[in-house]
Structure 1
Amino acid sequence: MSITSVLSPIAGRAVALQDVPDPVFSQGMVGYGAAVDPPHQVVEAVAPVSGTLLKLMPHAFVILTADKVGVLVHLGLDTVALEGEGFTAHVAQGDAVEAGQPMITYDVPAIVAKGLNPIVPVVVMDERKADNVVASEAVLEGADVDSGATLFTANA
């Protein structure tokens, strides 16, 4: 069994996953984790773990760690409809990335202006046991978290 520390990809207010206003995330359909409500400014979303960039879309990315833990970062809710508007990628699919490395510039005000929720769910892909994800104190308290601070740990 491995323990993976998953870092916050952005600064903001930590949010429990069940409080994300989207059932796909709040009910753990994609996996379990936590979320961050970003400040309404342009932010750099960074890699929450080190590994290989398995999937890169303008609004989301998945990193596969050396221990085969897949971590999804989804920038905003329903942002796939924007077809990349408001997002600038700094990496390419297949790249080796380090935790804390800038991945995507996220124009939060542009997302809010389109009437979309800018919250950023971060989940362990295909994790079916909520107990395998342990939220940080910041998530439990709904406190502010810095980019690169531990958001949760995953026991895989």
Structure 2
Amino acid sequence: MLKKLFGKKEKLSEEVIYAPLNGDVVELEKVPDPTFSQKMMGDGVAIEPKDGKVVSPVNGKVIQFFHTKHAVGIESESGLEILIHVGLETVNMGGEGFEGHVKEGDKVKVGDPLITVDLDLVKEKAASTITPVIITNADVLENVEKKYTVGASNETEIMTTKVKG
């Protein structure tokens, strides 16, 4: 539904978010951390990763890259802000087992490498490898369609959104 704002129709653009990791896409509510499962940071999905290669799920730019390299924020070309948080309680690892391939301000395209992570080390030292993929500025969304897929690859669509413009 298009809303009228000052006599003009509000434009909606569609944004596809691809899997930033190879693995199984699961419901955010299944993440064993209330910050994510109760959607305190925003809506999205989570991925049970099969490998440690994290790539960009959208075309856009890096707006936040945590010094511990466990999480990255990207703003898509349509204005979505997407947080990829690798594992749970991985901040406590202090960057051990994580290698960053980007810095804040870098432009990225779908599939560009963001982070490489040693999943075996995460399994040993953190609570979980499950990786939430969150839209942190849901106020710009008209709607979001989530796609739960077993064996997603970096070319698998995991969310399709309509972004208010």
Q: TM-score, normalised by structure 1?
A: 0.89
Aligned residue in 2 for 1:82? 93
Contact residue 30 and residue 127 of structure 1 kept, 8 A: no
SS state at 2:92 partner: helix
Tell me how many residue pairs correspond in the alignment: 150
Specify which of 148, 151, 157 is matched with residue 150 of structure 1: 157
Q: Distance in 2 between matches of 1:31 and 1:115?
A: 22
Contact residue 80 and residue 140 of structure 2 kept, 8 A: no
Specify which of 69, 74, 88 is matched with residue 63 of structure 1: 74
The structure with higher relative contact order (CA 8 Å, sep 6+) is 1
Q: Distance in 2 between matches of 1:47 and 1:20?
A: 21
Q: Distance in 1 between matches of 2:47 and 2:146?
A: 12
In the alignment, structure 2 segments of 5+ residues that lack a partner are 1-11
- Higher-Rg member (1/2): 2
Q: Distance in 2 between matches of 1:128 and 1:76?
A: 26
**Equivalences for residues 27-38 of structure 1 within 5 A:** 27-38=38-49
Q: Over aligned residues, Cα RMSD in angstroms?
A: 1.8
In the alignment, structure 1 segments of 5+ residues that lack a partner are none
Contact residue 89 and residue 104 of structure 1 kept, 8 A: yes
For residues 92-132 of structure 1, the C-alpha deviation after alignment (integer angstroms, 9 at most, x for no partner) is 11100111101100111000011420001101113269982
SS state at 2:138 partner: coil
Specify which of 121, 124, 130 is matched with residue 132 of structure 2: 121
